[in-house]
Amino acid sequence: MNGEREIHHGVEFENPIGTPVLAAAAGTVVFAGDDSGGGLSPWPNFYGQAVVIEHHPAGWEQPLFTLYGHLSEMNVWEGEPVQVGQVIGAVGMSGSADGPHLHFEVRVGENTYASSRNPELWLTPRGGFGSLAGRLTTPTGENIPALPVNILPLNSDFPPLYLQTYEAGEALSTASLEENFAVWNLPAGRYRMEFIANGLHRLEITIHPGERTFVTP
């Protein structure tokens, strides 16, 4: 936007207005309402009508939160328990949205904007798709921030992806992985990954269906 690449804390699922939105996992609704007063982000009415669900997955010490923004309808109330797959609302374009889509966000530990993580690694890839994540570092092991990374398909007509690593100071990575880039929805197949850090790096990677490929060149 305005020539800047600014971090977006969620992923967008473009769908027609009214498409049902389902709970990603079982939990309890902790927010269901209008974001016009702010509180969910640093800006008022960023998410429009939004639902936040708190989850306590087995084996996790911290709660997880999933956020569903820009809804046209909400079907749940604060305090209501929900099951995985339950319809909690419908796709809309309320709040700061250019068109109808679901904004989906994952927050770890507490329900704050600063606690959001890259949601791409929290989503199960669709059939025939796999995910890619990695950590690009300097020779001394420091994460390289805001580094452009090209992912070029070698045996499919899937469009090339132009990513960049997380910016410095962004706590977006999944703690157990410490990745600094990730993408969840690549068709299985071969890709060439390119980036420039101390010279041009080109490596071939394979994405397997239903699996995550982790790259640490």
Least separation, in Å, of the C-beta of 81 and Zn ion? 26
| 8 Å CB contact between 28 and 81 | yes
Shortest distance in whole angstroms from residue 97 CB to Zn ion: 7
For residues 146-175, which are near Zn ion according to CB under 5 A? none
Identify the DSSP state of 92.
B
**Under rule CB under 5 A, residue 117 binds Zn ion:** no
CB atoms near residue 100 (< 10 Å): 19
Residue 10 CA, chain-centre distance (Å), reads 5
Name the minimum Å distance from CB 12 to Zn ion: 5
Tell whether residue 10 is a contact of Zn ion (CB under 5 A).
yes
Size of the site for Zn ion (CB under 5 A): 3
Nearer to Zn ion, 103 or 107 (CB): 103
Residue 2, phi-psi category: left (phi > 0), alpha (psi -120 to 50), beta (remainder): left
103 binds Zn ion (CB under 5 A): yes
Instruction: Tell whether residue 9 is a contact of Zn ion (CB under 5 A).
Output: no
> Do residues 151 and 132 lie in contact, with contact meaning Cβ atoms separated by under 8 Å?
yes
109 CB contacts (<8 Å, ≥6 apart)? 62, 63, 115
Q: Which is nearer to Zn ion, 96 or 137 (CB)?
A: 96
Q: Give the nearer residue to Zn ion in terms of CB position, either 48 or 134.
A: 48
CA distance 66 to 106: 5
| 105/179 with CB nearer Zn ion | 105
Which residues lie near Zn ion (CB under 5 A)? 10, 12, 103
